[in-house]
């Protein structure tokens, strides 16, 4: 299947499963919708879709601000660093390579300090 056929097939499948909804909205409501979307760093239509689907699913609207996204990304970065360190230790141990305990302890202290700084940001 070439790219053009694939795209055509995908569009047909997508249009069978999804419908596009359009409706007029007063300028005041649109500006408020846009303002909230900007705060969350998402497109206005994406925010509107999230509002409607949350309402229809009877769920609270959960949106992450850019600040919260950055906070989560920092947590992930620190956690991955620790996991990477542990994986390196396990690998070296499995191939019977000696591990410099001083480097290991200093590295873990460094990550502990990063976590302390991270947690106190809250």
Query: So what's the pLDDT on residue 30?
Result: 95
Determine contact, residues 34/45, Cβ cutoff 8 Å: no
- Alpha-carbon span 33 to 30, nearest angstrom: 5
Q: Which residues of the chain have pLDDT under 70?
A: 122
| Domain extent listing, the chain | 22-63, 66-120
Confidence (pTM): 0.50
Residues 23, 26, 30: CA angle, nearest 5 degrees: 85
């Amino acid at each position: 299947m070439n790219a053009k056929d694939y795209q055509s097939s995908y569009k047909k499948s997508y249009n069978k499963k999804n419908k596009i909804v359009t409706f007029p909205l007063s300028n005041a409501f649109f500006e408020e919708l846009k303002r909230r979307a900007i705060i969350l760093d998402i497109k206005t239509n994406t925010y509107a879709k999230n509002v409607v689907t949350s309402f229809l699913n009877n769920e609270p609207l959960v949106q992450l601000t850019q600040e919260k996204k950055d906070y989560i990304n920092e947590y992930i970065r620190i956690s991955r660093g620790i996991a990477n360190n542990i994986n390196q230790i396990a690998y070296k141990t499995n191939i019977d390579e000696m591990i410099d305990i001083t480097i290991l302890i200093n590295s873990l202290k460094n990550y502990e300090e990063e976590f302390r700084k991270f947690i106190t940001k809250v």
